[in-house]
Amino acid sequence: MNLPGGSSSRGSHRLSEAAICPRKWYIHNVLKKVPVREPEYFVVGRLVHVALAYWFAQRLEVKPEWFQTVTLLDALNIVGAGYPEAIKLALDILPAYTSHYGADAQWNIISIEEEYTATIGEIRALTGAASRPGDGERVSCRIDLLVACNGKLWGVDYKTIGRSGRNGKLESYNPGAEYAIPWQFLLQTGVLRHNFGAKFGGIVVEQICKKAPYDFHREVIEIPLQPFLALPDTASRMCQTEHRIIDLMQEVEAQGTDLSMWLPDGNFWSCFPYGKPCEYRPLCLASSNLKRQEVLASAYQDK
């Protein structure tokens, strides 16, 4: 059974991986490997998503299957297996969140962790541009929470962060900083505008400070016009990059290459993003194909 949380089938994270590094994209999306031990901040983020999914699912008239068959504590133990401190942190954050926002009476919960899709052509139609080759490619987004409020539908995206502003309080997001061109929210906006038309109001980002004293801040993200108009071409380019990686894999396989010993080229300027190593860097550092297979078997598992 799929528990809440995780990326969508062909969303912003998967598409951007193709541009960041073909090797990373291939290991993650074709070999479907993830580290046995992940950085704890990744795990905390997923666990908070799970906890909030259960909190809001109580208000759905028709409860999701996971809510009916798996308790919150069991779900946290499954998703956070091996990370007891991360589980405890998620359990500490949940009551602080619910106390901060109360019952959110004005929010009518529509869906939780549901995936929505659109073709690139359907998104392009929103911009008024003429169709182009590749417009049949389908992309997706998984929305943490979809709510109805003030006559509109709003997608809500949780962001757990380890820092706060003055006096431990979160401040309003800076539209000139990390969200100036918000790739994830651009794609979400395109997909949800196609699915809901004029009913769609926008994306609400909920920042969650995961250090005590916990604090929370929600705000509607501004979607810049020019990047949104460029969204269809950008998404199409990423889809074509995915196809090129697959085509290359099939080409080398047809030439007799053992795919268990093969990886596409890596973008080695992307091995230490944001001051932290790529999770697949140990494979690139392996001294031989045989050593790489040993690392793959010992340090990674099926996702």
Q: What is the reported pLDDT for 163?
A: 72
The first and second tokens of residue 77, run together, are: 């133990």
Q: What is the reported pLDDT for 116?
A: 98
Q: Identify the band that residue 7 occupies on the pLDDT scale cut at 50, 70 and 90.
A: confident
- Domains of the chain, earliest start first: 12-245 (3.90.320.10)
Residues 271-277 have a mean pLDDT of 90
Tell me the longest C-alpha to C-alpha distance in the chain.
Answer: 62
Alpha carbon distances (Å) from 90 to 72, 76, 145, 165, 284: 11, 8, 18, 21, 33
The first and second tokens of residue 73, run together, are: 């504590």
Q: What pLDDT digit, counting tens, does each position of 81-105 carry? A: 999 999 999 999 999 999 999 866 6
Cβ atoms of 97 and 132 within 8 Å: the answer is no
Choose between 163 and 120: higher pLDDT.
120
Q: What is the reported pLDDT for 170?
A: 80
Q: Which amino acid is at 32?
A: K
Percent of the residues in the chain that have a pLDDT greater than 90, as a whole number: 83
Q: How far apart are CA 192 and CA 93, in angstroms?
A: 29
Query: With 90 as the cut, is the pLDDT of residue 17 above it?
Result: yes
Residues 147-165 have a mean pLDDT of 90
Q: Mean pLDDT in the chain?
A: 93
Q: What is the reported pLDDT for 165?
A: 66
What is the pairing mode between strands 200-209 and 152-161? parallel
Q: Identify the band that residue 1 occupies on the pLDDT scale cut at 50, 70 and 90.
A: low
Q: What is the reported pLDDT for 181?
A: 92
Residues 158-179 have a mean pLDDT of 77
Q: Identify the band that residue 169 occupies on the pLDDT scale cut at 50, 70 and 90.
A: confident
Cβ atoms of 123 and 188 within 8 Å: the answer is no
Q: What is the reported pLDDT for 194?
A: 98
Query: With 90 as the cut, is the pLDDT of residue 234 above it?
Result: yes
Q: What is the reported pLDDT for 260?
A: 83
Q: What pLDDT digit, counting tens, does each position of 101-149 carry? A: 986 668 999 999 999 999 999 999 999 999 999 999 999 999 999 999 9
Q: What is the reported pLDDT for 2?
A: 82
Q: What is the reported pLDDT for 176?
A: 74
DSSP state of 43: H
Query: With 90 as the cut, is the pLDDT of residue 175 above it?
Result: no
Q: What is the reported pLDDT for 113?
A: 94
The first and second tokens of residue 292, run together, are: 């790489």
pLDDT-wise least confident of 104-118, 169-183, 253-267 = 169-183
Percent of the residues in the chain that have a pLDDT greater than 70, as a whole number: 97
Q: How far apart are CA 114 and CA 110, in angstroms?
A: 10
Q: What is the reported pLDDT for 115?
A: 96
Query: With 90 as the cut, is the pLDDT of residue 261 above it?
Result: no
